[in-house]
């Protein structure tokens, strides 16, 4: 069965930091192509109410909404291994994330 | 630099007494840092900053909370009579909840606090806020390891708030009462304006003070000012040295309640004077107080007595014994008795309560029996401040005051009164026991009377069923004041 993974990425405007974070999450998404991984990018400058609801204070912040429990990691997410570890993605259907297990 | 001086205007905060010591309030459109160790009422200060804005100036506010949850803040401020929920419903108050979530925050790579800035700006916009409070910054540092980033980000938050045009109070932690201004040296990079709150142990008692350390380009009073936290009110600062002792001296005389004592004072006490009655226990200080009160009531003047040593029943009974019907007078609203145990509050608390009662009752005469009871519960410094503040308050209101003070030795005179107290009283009356030919008598004398001639002699007095009886001068005895009595042969 395919696990549904839902991520939200909060960024502020189109700074290089935002772009880098978006790029890094995109990498992860590509690696997880075979499973069901959804990423929503939210610009806190355009939608501060969303940041308020999610109680996000730092940007970029990546939130794993599903599976629960929720997990968060902040920064430009340049250390992809660390991101995977925190989000605990590595433990789901390990066979499928070939590209990330070098 | 000079142009700064001209351009910085103040925002009246509305916290009792604060705007006096701050000469008009906090710098408008700027951030003021409020620092203090734990338990110094920083959060109360923040809440009241916003609450007074809403209540007194129709200025809305945003509370950014890093530590306490909004629910706790709503509940904790209920006792001050602030209904935050109601204000939230009316879009006058908004929370930005940044309190710690249960999960830890993991950091991977550089970040900023743009999301927080966006949320604050959003909340400010939502309620049209003019005031913002951030409580407390230490929590942000505790949450992230990278303090260099946090420093830069806090600086950006302050700049953003300034750009939005709101006036901000930011709190930070201190580790000791007289050490560095704030943990993480926050003051060095976020605020031109710093207020320090203290809660110092002094003579076994806690004493709260507030000090404005700096207001860049704006005036303020220097030094520590005592403050109290009053139920139903919040913080109340006592602006001592900004209260000038400028007494409107007039020469209207009022009766002391005793004809002969009036004669000794060349026609009575002055309308706006403060008289100190000093004597050992049992010499008749409370009797002289009740005589003074009754004398006022006799003239149709409202008279108020703060009794810190006796219960109302005792005072009524004693007054009755001296032929003064206090109860009837109290019913006629000419006399009011306020009996309080000194230990029930700190001096600041007593001061604020006494002022409130005077404001409400509007008496012409006030008695404090005794100031020694208040001295007992305080340090020398806070007692001095109390005496100055209370005396200047009643003088501003042109109320005649009478304080009693208990001398510690039965015979003769120890220190007449503590030096700093005698300088603010206009007249001093001494009551003394005198050993005379194998018996103990009482003596009374007017030791000092500012602006008037007075009887310098010591007279004998007795206490009878109809009150105080002042008799002939004790002309054959000398050395009473020193306790070294000599009799002239005659």
Average pLDDT over residues B402-430: 69
Assigned domain for B157 exists: yes
pLDDT per position as a tens digit, B66-124: 989 999 999 999 888 899 999 999 999 999 999 877 666 788 888 999 999 999 999 99
Q: Are residues B318 and B217 in the same domain?
A: no
Q: Are residues B148 and B65 in the same domain?
A: yes
Q: Give me A8's structure tokens.
A: 């939200």
Q: Are residues B198 and B267 in the same domain?
A: no
Backbone angles phi, psi at B108, to 5 degrees: -135, 100
B193: CB partners within 8 A, 6+ apart: B26, B27, B30, B31, B32, B33, B214, B215, B216, B218
List of chain A residues with pLDDT < 70: 1-3, 33-35, 89-102
Q: Are residues B120 and B51 in the same domain?
A: yes
CATH superfamily of the domain spanning A4-95: Glutaredoxin (3.40.30.10)
Could B108 and A70 be called an inter-chain contact, meaning their C-beta atoms sit closer than 8 Å? no
Q: Are residues B273 and B223 in the same domain?
A: no
Assigned domain for B222 exists: yes
Q: Are residues B186 and B318 in the same domain?
A: no
Nearest chain A Cα to B121, which residue? A48
Rounded to the nearest integer, the mean pLDDT of chain B is 83
Highest mean pLDDT among B61-70, B410-419, B481-490: B61-70
Identify which of B105, B109, B113 has the shortest CB distance to residue A76.
Answer: B109
C-alpha distances out from residue B83 to B43, B55, B75, B88, B136, Å? 16, 11, 9, 9, 22
pLDDT at B470 over 70: yes
CA distance B312 to B310: 7
pLDDT per position as a tens digit, A57-66: 999 999 988 8
Instruction: Please identify, among B203, B237, B271, the residue that sits at the C-terminal boundary of a domain.
Output: B237
Nearest to A58 by CA among A17, A19, A27, A24: A17
A→B interface, C-beta within 8 Å: 10, 12-13, 17, 20, 44-45, 48-49, 51-52, 55-61, 69-79, 82-83, 86
Taking the CA of residue B166 and the nearest CA in chain A, the distance in Å comes to 18
Q: Are residues B41 and B72 in the same domain?
A: yes
Catalytic residue list contains B67: yes
Instruction: Please identify, among B237, B262, B292, the residue that sits at the C-terminal boundary of a domain.
Output: B237
Taking the CA of residue A94 and the nearest CA in chain B, the distance in Å comes to 23
Residue B7: per-residue pLDDT: 60
pLDDT per position as a tens digit, B276-314: 998 888 888 888 998 998 888 888 889 999 999 888 888
Residue B45: per-residue pLDDT: 96
Q: Give me B212's structure tokens.
A: 């404005």
pLDDT at B2 over 60: no
C-alpha distances out from residue B418 to B35, B137, B168, Å? 35, 45, 44
Instruction: Report how many domains make up chain B.
Output: 2
Q: Are residues B232 and B355 in the same domain?
A: no
Scanning B166-311, the segments in alpha helix (DSSP H) are: 186-190, 259-264, 285-298
pLDDT at B418 over 70: no
Could B103 and A70 be called an inter-chain contact, meaning their C-beta atoms sit closer than 8 Å? yes
The catalytically annotated residue of B153, B187, B301, B309 is B309
Q: Are residues B218 and B315 in the same domain?
A: no
Assigned domain for B245 exists: no
Catalytic residue list contains B360: no
Helix or strand holding residue B381 (H, E): helix B380-396
Q: Tell me, what's the ipTM? A: 0.86
Residue B249: per-residue pLDDT: 54
Assigned domain for B243 exists: no
Q: Is B244 helix (H, G, I), strand (E, B) or coil?
A: coil
How many CB pairs lie under 8 A apart between chains A and B?
Answer: 89
Q: Give me B468's structure tokens.
A: 């105080």
Assigned domain for B170 exists: yes
The least confident of B23-37, B201-215, B365-379, B441-455 is B201-215
Helix or strand holding residue B148 (H, E): helix B147-164
Question: How many C-alpha atoms does B253 have within 13 Å on its Cβ side?
Answer: 17
Taking the CA of residue A36 and the nearest CA in chain B, the distance in Å comes to 24
pLDDT per position as a tens digit, B342-388: 888 888 889 889 999 999 999 999 999 988 888 888 877 778 778 87
Rounded to the nearest integer, the mean pLDDT of chain A is 80
Q: Are residues B223 and B286 in the same domain?
A: no
pTM of the model: 0.67
Helix, strand and coil percent figures for chain A, each rounded to 5 = 35, 25, 35
Query: Positive or negative CA dihedral for B63, B66, B69, B72?
Result: negative
- CATH code for the domain in which residue B275 is found: 3.40.50.300
Could A73 and B111 be called an inter-chain contact, meaning their C-beta atoms sit closer than 8 Å? no
Q: Are residues B9 and B115 in the same domain?
A: yes
For residues B190 and B234, the model is more confident at B234
Residue B122: per-residue pLDDT: 96
Indicate the pLDDT class of residue B239, thresholds 50, 70 and 90. Answer: low
So where are chain A's domains?
A: 4-95
Domain hosting B128: range is: 2-237
- What is the full DSSP assignment across B316-353? HHHHHHTT--HHHHHHTTSEEEEE--GGGS-HHHHHHH
Q: Which residues of A are less than 8 Å from B107 in CB distance? A: 73-75
Residue B354: per-residue pLDDT: 93
Average pLDDT over residues B469-483: 74
């Amino acid at each position: 069965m395919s696990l549904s993974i839902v991520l939200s990425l909060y960024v502020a405007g189109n700074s290089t930091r935002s772009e880098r974070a978006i790029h890094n999450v995109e990498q992860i998404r590509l690696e997880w192509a075979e499973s069901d991984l959804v990423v929503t990018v939210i610009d806190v400058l355009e939608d501060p109410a969303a940041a308020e609801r999610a109680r996000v204070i730092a940007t970029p912040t990546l939130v794993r909404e599903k599976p629960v429990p929720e997990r968060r990691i902040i920064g430009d997410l340049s250390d992809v291994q660390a991101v995977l570890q925190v989000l605990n993605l590595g433990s789901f259907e390990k066979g499928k994330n070939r590209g990330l297990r070098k | 630099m000079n142009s700064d001086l001209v351009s910085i205007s103040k925002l009246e905060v509305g916290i009792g007494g604060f705007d006096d010591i701050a000469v008009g309030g906090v710098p408008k459109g700027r951030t003021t840092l409020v620092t203090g160790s734990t338990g110094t009422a920083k959060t109360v200060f923040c809440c009241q900053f916003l609450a007074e804005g809403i209540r007194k100036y129709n200025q809305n506010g945003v509370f950014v909370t890093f530590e306490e949850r909004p629910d706790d803040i709503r509940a904790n401020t209920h006792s001050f009579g602030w209904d935050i929920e109601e204000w939230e419903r009316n879009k006058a108050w908004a929370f930005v909840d940044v309190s710690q979530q249960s999960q830890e925050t993991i950091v991977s790579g550089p970040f900023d606090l743009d999301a927080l800035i966006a949320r604050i700006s959003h909340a400010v916009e939502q309620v049209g806020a003019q005031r913002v409070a951030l409580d407390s910054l230490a929590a942000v540092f505790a949450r992230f390891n990278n303090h260099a980033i946090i420093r830069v980000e806090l600086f950006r938050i302050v700049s953003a708030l300034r750009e939005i045009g709101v006036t901000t109070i930011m709190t930070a932690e201190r580790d000791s009462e007289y050490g560095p201004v704030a943990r993480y040296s926050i003051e060095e990079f976020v605020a031109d304006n710093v207020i320090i709150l203290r809660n110092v142990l002094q003579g076994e008692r806690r004493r709260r003070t507030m000090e404005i350390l700096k207001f860049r380009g704006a005036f303020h009073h220097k030094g520590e000012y005592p403050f109290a936290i009053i139920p139903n009110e919040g913080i109340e600062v006592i602006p001592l040295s900004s209260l000038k002792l400028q007494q409107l001296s007039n020469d209207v005389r009022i009766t002391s309640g005793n004809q002969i004592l009036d004669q000794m004072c060349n026609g009575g006490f002055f309308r706006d004077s403060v008289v100190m009655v000093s004597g050992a226990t049992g010499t008749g200080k409370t009797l002289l107080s009740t005589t003074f009160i009754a004398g006022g009531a006799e003239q149709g003047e409202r008279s108020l007595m703060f009794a810190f040593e006796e219960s109302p029943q005792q005072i009524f009974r004693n007054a009755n014994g001296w032929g003064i019907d206090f109860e009837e007078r109290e019913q006629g609203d000419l006399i009011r008795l306020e009996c309080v145990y000194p230990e029930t509050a700190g001096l600041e608390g007593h001061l604020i309560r006494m002022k409130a009662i005077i404001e409400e009752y509007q008496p012409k005469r006030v008695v404090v029996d005794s100031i020694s009871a208040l001295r007992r519960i305080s340090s020398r410094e806070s007692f001095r401040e109390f005496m100055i503040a209370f005396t200047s308050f009643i003088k501003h209101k042109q109320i005649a005051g009478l304080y009693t003070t208990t001398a510690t030795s039965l015979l003769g005179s120890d220190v007449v009164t503590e030096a700093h107290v005698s300088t603010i009283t206009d007249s001093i009356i001494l009551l003394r026991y005198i050993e005379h030919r194998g018996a103990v008598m009482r003596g009374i004398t007017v030791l000092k009377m500012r602006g008037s001639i007075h009887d310098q002699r010591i007279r004998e007095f007795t206490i009878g069923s109809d009150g105080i009886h002042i008799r002939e001068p004790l002309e054959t005895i000398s050395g009473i004041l020193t306790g070294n009595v000599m009799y002239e042969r005659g």
